[in-house]
Amino acid sequence: MGLNDAMNYVLFNNPVSSTMWSMASQGAKAVGLKPKAIAQTAATHTTAVAQQALPPLWKLLGHNRHIVRLAGLSGAAAVVIGAYGAHYHFLPEEEDMQQRDPKQIFEMTNRYHFIHSLALMVAPFARRPYLTTALMLSGMTLFCGTCYYVAFSNDRSVVKLTPMGGFLLIFAWLSFLI
Residues sharing a CB contact under 8 Å with residue 56, sequence separation 6 or more, in sequence order:
none
- pTM reported for the whole predicted model: 0.62
List of E strands, 49-157: none
Residues sharing a CB contact under 8 Å with residue 71, sequence separation 6 or more, in sequence order:
122, 176
Quote the pLDDT of residue 88. 77
How big is the chain, counted in residues? 178
Task: State the Cα–Cα distance between residues 91 and 98, nearest whole angstrom.
Answer: 13
Quote the pLDDT of residue 116. 94
Quote the pLDDT of residue 115. 94
Which H helix or E strand runs over 102? helix 102-121
φ, ψ (nearest 5 deg) of residue 55: -70, 165
Are the C-beta atoms of 123 and 136 separated by less than 8 Å? yes
Q: What is the pLDDT along the chain (178 residues), one digit of tens a residue?
A: 555 666 566 666 666 666 666 666 666 666 666 656 555 655 565 566 555 655 666 666 676 777 888 888 888 988 998 888 887 766 565 555 567 889 999 999 999 999 999 999 889 888 899 999 999 999 999 999 999 999 999 999 999 999 999 999 999 999 998 8
Task: State the Cα–Cα distance between residues 122 and 115, nearest whole angstrom.
Answer: 12
Cα–Cα nearest to 6, from 14, 53, 59? 14
Quote the pLDDT of residue 71. 86
Spans of all domains in the chain: 3-53, 58-176
Quote the pLDDT of residue 148. 95
Quote the pLDDT of residue 70. 85
Quote the pLDDT of residue 114. 94
